[in-house]
């Protein structure tokens, strides 16, 4: 018996993109799909919705085959129990905000009075109770995106596809809408797939993360999984850690060029990845004394303040990012071009097979 939820094997070629992705999403689960531009995130959503045909593969939702390529059944987009929020809203320009939200409900057979009543509830839920009579041209980009979000949520489809649903919102509205969306998703019974560039959005809204690069899944799991064992530079940047690729030789990891890292205990020889959290990187203006086994000279390439702390990018024989307090930035006089010494304890280097 086919498990409930979404089971998909998506294979297609679209221009330079070759997409080959397997994806499973349980009912009531939100999976966030992240990746760099051109990785295939939006194309994946469009394929699940039936807007892009598969070359090969299957899309099965709650046991119903929506598509089986190349020769199997194909359910057209309008007949799929799928709701999608697009990046560019795609509201009906001749309908009011209320009518846009009510459209899917009425298309499903609901009487107008009841559809309008529910649409008003959804508009209120996204903070637009007073904009029901406005047409899309009279809405700001953020307001239009919230109407599109309400329209998709209102029909309670078995599969909800969200393509950068908060991208058009300003910082204040985004935070409030994200909280509302999280509340709505918590009570949503269908499977949900969220595409986003924002790791905070993914962390707040998703139960599981899937990372695409060049049309392939490079890593999936919880935020802790990705932070502890990133498998690519993109994933490392996403979760904010330093990632190095090298070859283990006893208690040392040989990196590109003459650089190496000393680790706390010997690991099996062979290709490895090494992770260093920026908070484990200490910076000094002169060569430090102490027991740290990884010490090298570098030069500050940039300082990025983040509240009471700052991320300091250091170049040199082994480029690395350190996270220090704002007070340390001032005390050390850290700025672009400042010469520094870098120190990392061997116990702070986490090594695992590539």
CATH number of the domain where residue 57 is located = 3.40.50.300
Please report whether residue 324 resides in a domain. Answer: yes
Please report whether residue 224 resides in a domain. Answer: yes
Do 121 and 253 belong to one domain? no
pLDDT confidence tier of residue 89, bands split at 50, 70 and 90: confident
Determine the Cα angle at 224 with ends 223 and 227, to 5°. 85
Model pLDDT, residue 67? 96
Do 139 and 203 belong to one domain? yes
Do 227 and 246 belong to one domain? no
Do 45 and 192 belong to one domain? yes
What's the pLDDT tens digit per position in 212-255?
Answer: 999 999 999 998 899 889 999 999 999 999 999 999 988 999 99
Model pLDDT, residue 165? 86
Do 322 and 217 belong to one domain? no
Model pLDDT, residue 50? 95
Model pLDDT, residue 347? 93
Range of the domain at 225: 6-235
Instruction: Report how many domains make up the chain.
Output: 2
Please report whether residue 245 resides in a domain. Answer: yes
Helical residues (DSSP H) of the chain, grouped into ranges? 41-49, 97-107, 112-125, 141-154, 171-186, 199-205, 223-228, 233-239, 326-332
Do 49 and 96 belong to one domain? yes
What is the number of other CB atoms lying within 10 angstroms of the CB of residue 178? 18
Assess whether pLDDT exceeds 60 at residue 159.
yes
pLDDT confidence tier of residue 319, bands split at 50, 70 and 90: very high
Do 212 and 125 belong to one domain? yes
Assess whether pLDDT exceeds 70 at residue 1.
no
Do 215 and 114 belong to one domain? yes
Please report whether residue 161 resides in a domain. Answer: yes
With contact defined as beta carbons under 8 Å apart, do 334 and 314 qualify? no
Which of residues 210, 235, 260 is at a domain's end? 235
As beta bridge partners, residue 132 has none
Do 203 and 334 belong to one domain? no
Tokens standing for residue 84: 């999608």
What's the pLDDT tens digit per position in 104-153?
Answer: 899 888 999 999 999 999 999 888 999 999 999 999 888 888 898 899 98
Please report whether residue 1 resides in a domain. Answer: no
Return phi, psi of residue 307, to 5°: 70, -125
Model pLDDT, residue 214? 95
Q: Is 15 exposed, middle or buried (0-12, 13-18, 19+ CB in 10 A)?
A: exposed
> Which H or E run includes 85?
strand 82-85
With contact defined as beta carbons under 8 Å apart, do 334 and 284 qualify? no
Model pLDDT, residue 99? 94
Do 131 and 212 belong to one domain? yes
- DSSP letters, 28-41, are T-EEEEE--TTSSH
pLDDT mean over 290-319: 92
Peptide bond into 312 cis (omega under 30): no
Assess whether pLDDT exceeds 80 at residue 257.
no
Which of residues 198, 217, 235 is at a domain's end? 235
Mean of per-residue pLDDT scores for the chain: 91
With contact defined as beta carbons under 8 Å apart, do 89 and 109 qualify? no
> Which H or E run includes 9?
strand 6-14
What CATH number does the domain containing 252 carry?
A: 2.40.50.100
Name the pTM for this structure.
Answer: 0.86
Which of residues 206, 235, 264 is at a domain's end? 235
**Separation of alpha carbons 330 and 312, rounded Å:** 12
pLDDT mean over 319-324: 96
What's the pLDDT tens digit per position in 57-71?
Answer: 999 999 999 999 999
Q: Can you give the length of the chain in residues?
A: 354
Do 166 and 46 belong to one domain? yes
Do 130 and 87 belong to one domain? yes
């Amino acid at each position: 018996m086919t498990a409930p939820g979404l089971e998909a094997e998506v294979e297609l070629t679209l221009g330079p993109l070759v997409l080959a992705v397997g994806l499973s999403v349980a009912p009531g689960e939100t999976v966030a799909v992240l990746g760099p531009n051109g990785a295939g995130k939006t194309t994946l959503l469009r394929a699940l919705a039936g807007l892009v045909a598969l070359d090969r593969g299957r899309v099965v939702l709650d046991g119903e085959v929506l598509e089986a390529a190349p020769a199997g059944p194909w359910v057209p987009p309008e007949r799929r129990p799928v709701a999608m929020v697009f990046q560019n809203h795609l509201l009906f320009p001749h309908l009011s905000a209320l009518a846009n939200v009510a459209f899917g409900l009425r298309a499903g057979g609901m009487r107008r009075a009841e559809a309008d009543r529910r649409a008003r509830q959804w508009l209120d839920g996204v903070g637009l109770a007073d904009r029901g009579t406005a047409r899309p041209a009279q809405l700001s980009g953020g307001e239009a995106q919230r109407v599109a979000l309400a329209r998709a949520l209102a029909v309670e489809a078995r599969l909800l596809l969200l393509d950068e649903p908060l991208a058009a919102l300003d910082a204040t509205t985004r935070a409030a809408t994200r909280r509302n969306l999280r509340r709505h998703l918590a009570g949503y019974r269908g499977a949900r797939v969220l595409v986003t560039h924002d790791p905070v959005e993914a962390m707040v809204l998703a139960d599981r993360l899937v990372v695409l690069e060049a049309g392939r899944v490079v890593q999936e799991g919880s935020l802790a999984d990705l932070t502890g064992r990133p498998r690519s530079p993109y994933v490392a940047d996403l979760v904010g850690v330093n990632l190095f690729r090298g070859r283990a030789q006893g208690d040392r990891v040989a990196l590109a060029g003459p650089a190496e890292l000393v680790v706390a205990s010997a690991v099996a020889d062979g290709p490895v990845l090494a992770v260093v959290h920026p908070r484990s990187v200490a910076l000094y203006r002169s060569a430090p004394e102490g027991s740290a086994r990884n010490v090298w000279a570098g030069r500050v390439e940039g300082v990025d303040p983040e509240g009471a702390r700052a991320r300091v990018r250091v170049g040199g024989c082994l480029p690395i990012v350190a996270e220090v307090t704002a007070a340390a930035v001032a005390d050390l006089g850290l700025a672009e071009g400042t010469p520094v010494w870098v120190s990392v304890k061997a116990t702070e280097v986490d090594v695992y097979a590539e």
